[in-house]
Structure 1
Amino acid sequence: MSWLDDDGDDDDLGYDETDFRARPNPKANRPRTKRRPAHADAVIARVLGVDRGRYTVLVDEDGPDEHQILASRARELRKQPIVNGDRARVVGDTSGDDGTLARIVGILDRTSLLRRSADDTDHVERIIVANADQMLIVVAAADPEPRPRLVDRYLIAALDAGMRPILVVTKTDLADPSPFLAHFEGLEDLEVITSGRDAMPVDLIGDLLVGHSTVFVGHSGVGKSTLVNALVPHALRATGHVNEVTGRGRHTSSSAVSLRYVGPSGKGWVIDTPGVRSFGLGHVDPANILRAYTDLADIAEECPRGCTHLPDAPDCALVEAVADGRLGERGAARVDSLQRLLTTFSAPPTF
């Protein structure tokens, strides 16, 4: 069939392009908007764990209807990291029944962030845990040998995040921890607890957990998972052994998980994290380390601009205060502790 007239064109047929209309595409023609639903019916839940894009969250924490549910991430949060310890706004089916899936539509403001980078030159942060107020560092007196520099890095991360550090030394029946602990004598706010294989001070540690969210960190093989299982018997965290050839522990925890601690004096949260052999500090602001030494920070205000506060820093008020004996033996130990943490960075920091 031809649409042409006898002259070979369509002039006499009375058609023009307005007679042929394309089928409308309602999605393409719909005006774009950045408005999002208010989700006034959202409930607040604690993120307990993350597994392949699904989030285990706790609804009605400490309430009469406390229960766990499974949730996914809303599309508008695709660039928002959601981590263990987050307080999330959740909508949808929050019954927790089999086969149900709620949706996380928002994250409340965080009070703290524990972060690490791949190495000291990488400024891209990896958020590990949110809203924890304590860090419990587990280290073995032997098997594997303690690594003071790794503990220094944990302390720096804790101080940067505003967390209270707690140091637990395990396997003290195998070696005397005193030489190792001498590295940390100047840090007055550090709580230190020692433990043997057959005498773990569970009650003492448990009392420190009550009313707090405590993130557990430690080198693989130091007994961290064993301690977690002693504090939270239903946790069933896998435990491993130390390789006799390399002297290194085997990773037994693959992801961070929040566990409820219930003790004689109350409740708390244990956030167990995978064991690591390195802890990059590329994201840390060195000034936060000095702020943790409040008594030294006042003296450091007399330092020249750009002072590194290291032993070879010219005209450093801290170095001079140690040299003339104004700080005393204890103060000198704290300056040494501060300087050791500062030199942990790959390059001397400035303030």
Structure 2
Amino acid sequence: MSTGRRYLDEDDVPVRARGGSRPRTRKRPKHEDAKPGFVTAVDRGRYTCLVEDRTVVAMKARELGRGSITVGDRVRLVGDLSGRPDSLARVVRVEERRSVLRRTADDTDPVERVIVANADQLVIVSSLADPPPQPRFIDRCLVAAYDAGLRPLLCLTKVDLAAPDDVLETYSALDLPSVVTSRDGDLDPLREQLAGRVSVLVGSSGVGKSTLVNLLIPEAGRAVGDVNPVTGRGRHTSASAVALTLPDGWIIDTPGVRSFGLAHISPDDVVAGFPDLDEAVAECPPGCAHTADVPGCALDSGTAAGRLDADRVSSLRRLLASREGADDSRAQQ
């Protein structure tokens, strides 16, 4: 006789569907038909890529996860690669990077910011006046260039306003390639240094990066701002990094920065960014921190004997101190 009751089994347990009814898998699609591209700009999750001779806008495929894609990346794309307005492709793979230029907001910030990928050369742009040169900023960029394996190039602008001799003398011991430019001057020496390379331009606001880009590539139309006559700082006329093609090579213009943090670079690698001080550092006692309060630091004796440039020693020590969080209001200059 039936009692009206039914025994329950596992088929009666409710199961909430997750992500639809398709079975989950860890296997990523191979996308054998994906086309190679070069990322020229990034804007709010959209990636402008050069695919053959077409400019294609793409989004990142979900299977790539949270990994970043930046200007200079070599990628693979699928989907609508026509380049037509309102078309959208997908980036399904990021090729291995041969170089990565990074910085942090300051010397104690643990968050690395990737500036560009796959560059060959770091062009450190510094004006000779309005705003005046910032040797310590140049030093920071040199450390970052050596750490990333990039060839550094010092580009001094506004030579019509001030002479470059003092700045060039500061770095004479480094055998550092350099060019001197002005708005109305000959840019052929700079073009020769850029030829055949992917070059990233870095500098403080107002030093003339965008002006240089517009002179080299008139159709680029990069915005140019004025410099505050009191602070010596200009507006951030470049809002984001963008790669622009040259007849032979690429230049990547980046936003002007007021600081170039090196928290991602170890103290030993910071010291390695000062090759003109190598011989002296090698004579320091084991474990020397190379700061001014360390007894026996060879930087002191080398400076006293006139073998080392006192400003370069001071810059190194400022960098090391600022990485330790020391209060130095000029450490970022």
Q: Same fold (TM over 0.5)?
A: yes
> 2:318 maps to what in 1?
343
TM-score by length of 1: 0.81
**What are the ranges of 5 or more consecutive residues in structure 1 without an aligned counterpart?**
1-9, 61-65
Q: Look up the match of 2:3.
A: 12
Is the 8 Å Cα contact of residues 108 and 323 (structure 2) preserved in structure 1? no
1:1-351 aligned within 5 A: 11-13=2-4, 15-17=6-8, 21=12, 27=18, 32-60=24-52, 66-188=53-175, 190-199=176-185, 201-262=186-247, 267-291=248-272, 297=278, 300=281, 303-310=284-291, 313-316=294-297, 332-333=308-309, 337=312, 340-347=315-322
Bigger Rg, which one: 1
Q: CA deviation at 1:288?
A: 2.9
Given the superposition, is the C-alpha separation of residues 116 and 109 from structure 1 closer, same or farther in structure 2, using an over 3 Å criterion?
same
Q: Percent identity?
A: 48
Which runs of 5 or more residues in structure 2 are unaligned? 325-333
**Is the CA contact (8 Å cut-off) linking 2:211 and 2:224 kept in structure 1?**
yes
Distance change in 2, residues 1:234/1:25 (3 Å) = same
Inter-CA distance 232–343: structure 2 relative to 1 (3 Å threshold) = same
Please state how far the C-alpha of 1:59 moved relative to its aligned partner. Answer: 1.5
Root-mean-square deviation (Å): 3.0
Give the secondary structure class of the aligned counterpart of 2:316: helix
Q: Which moved more, 1:207-216 or 1:71-80?
A: 71-80
Instruction: Give the Cα separation in 2 of the matches to 1:314 and 1:170.
Output: 41
Q: Deviations over 1:295-338 (max 9, x none)?
A: 86577556443223456644556766777x8xxx7x645x9746
> Alpha-carbon deviation of 1:268?
0.6
Specify whether residues 301 and 57 from structure 1 end up closer, same or farther in structure 2 by C-alpha distance, changes over 3 A only.
Answer: same
Contact 1:342–1:348 (8 Å) recurs in 2: no
Q: 1:302 to 1:19 in 2, by over 3 A?
A: closer
CA distance 1:18–1:148, change in 2 (3 Å)? closer
Measured against aligned partners, the alpha-carbon deviations of 1:234-293 in whole angstroms (never above 9, x if no partner) come to 11101111123433211100000000011xxxx110000001111111111233344456
Structure 2: distance between partners of 1:342 and 1:89: 44
Q: SS in structure 2 opposite 1:143? A: coil
Q: Taking structure 2 as the reference length, what is the TM-score of the superposition? A: 0.85
